[in-house]
């Protein structure tokens, strides 16, 4: 069996119940692993070798179970490979680290209370409409183009937005989304706000995270250490950051 490596476009987070979620940044898709699948994933990250990973897991079970363990592991590996979550071949770089610490949860949350007014607000609203349209168009392309575009804007815009600036941008995007006939949920709105910030010469963090029991996926903005919301979300503290750009 070939060596196995976890590519750099994959991010994972450990759930409290022992399972895991894996995010493929090339497709934008989330994948859930149960606890046994998570065990194999952990060993593949640690050893980079399928045979060693299976041997390590099988050592904790009776000998008569080991052929079935290997058979199930081969089935799982094929599924992971089909989804491009693993690559068969020598490990060229360290496996991406899991996001499982409490520090991965938002600690400071700021909720908007008012909209921008006057000329500044009008100009921001125009840019917000453009930012939202760009976000909707980007999300129709392969997801890797979305992350590359966000990375490019971060290189171009080195001034981090203040919390009031981020609130104004997010509220302006929300207003544009209410007038938009297309779907504009958290992913579209948060990306639209990121692009609006770039059009204003500012940088914010685009964050995607997960909560469990049941699994829930979310996207939001952060700047200067604070999560910025346009409306209260009582459960945001239950989400772990899996991807930040």
Tell me, what's the pLDDT at 102? 42
Q: How confident is the model at residue 103 (pLDDT cuts 50, 70, 90)?
A: very low
- How far apart CA 143 and CA 52 sit, in angstroms, is 33
The pLDDT score that the predictor gives to residue 92 is 52
Share of the chain above pLDDT 90, in %: 58
Average pLDDT over residues 106-130: 73
- Residue bearing tokens 């360290």: 94
The pLDDT value recorded for residue 120 is: 61
Please give the mean pLDDT across all residues of the chain.
87
How do beta strands 109-111 and 226-229 pair? parallel
Query: Taking a C-beta distance cutoff of 8 angstroms, is the pair 225, 103 a contact?
Result: no
Domains of the chain in sequence order = 4-100 (3.90.930), 104-244 (no CATH)
Supply the angle between the helices 143-156 and 118-138 in degrees, to the nearest 10.
Answer: 140
Residue with tokens 């400071």: 108
What is the model's pLDDT at position 123? 84
pTM above 0.95, yes or no: no
Residue 101: the pLDDT is 42
pLDDT over 80 (residue 119): no
Q: Residue 238 above 60 pLDDT?
A: yes
pLDDT at 107: 66
């Amino acid at each position: 069996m070939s060596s196995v490596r976890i590519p750099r476009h994959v991010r994972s987070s450990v759930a409290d119940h022992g399972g895991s979620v894996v995010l493929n940044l090339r497709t934008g898709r989330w994948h859930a692993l149960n606890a046994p699948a998570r065990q194999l994933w952990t060993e593949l990250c640690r050893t980079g070798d399928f045979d060693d990973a299976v041997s390590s897991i099988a050592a904790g079970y009776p000998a008569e179970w080991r052929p079935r363990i290997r058979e199930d592991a081969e089935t799982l590996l094929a599924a992971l490979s089909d989804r491009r979550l693993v690559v068969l071949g020598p490990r060229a770089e360290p496996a991406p680290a899991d996001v499982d610490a409490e520090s991965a949860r938002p600690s400071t949350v700021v909720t908007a209370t008012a909209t921008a007014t006057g000329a500044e607000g009008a100009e921001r609203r125009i840019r917000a409409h453009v930012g939202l349209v760009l976000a909707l168009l980007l999300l129709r392309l392969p997801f890797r183009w979305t992350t590359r575009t966000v990375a490019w804007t971060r290189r171009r815009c080195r001034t981090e937005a203040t919390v009031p600036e981020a609130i104004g941008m997010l509220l302006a995007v929300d207003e544009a989304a209410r007038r938009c006939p297309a779907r504009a949920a958290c992913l579209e709105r948060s990306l639209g706000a990121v692009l609006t910030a770039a059009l204003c010469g500012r940088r914010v963090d685009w964050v995607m995270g997960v909560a469990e029991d049941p699994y829930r996926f979310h996207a939001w903005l952060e700047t200067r250490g604070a999560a910025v919301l346009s409306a209260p979300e009582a459960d945001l503290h239950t989400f772990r950051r899996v991807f930040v750009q």
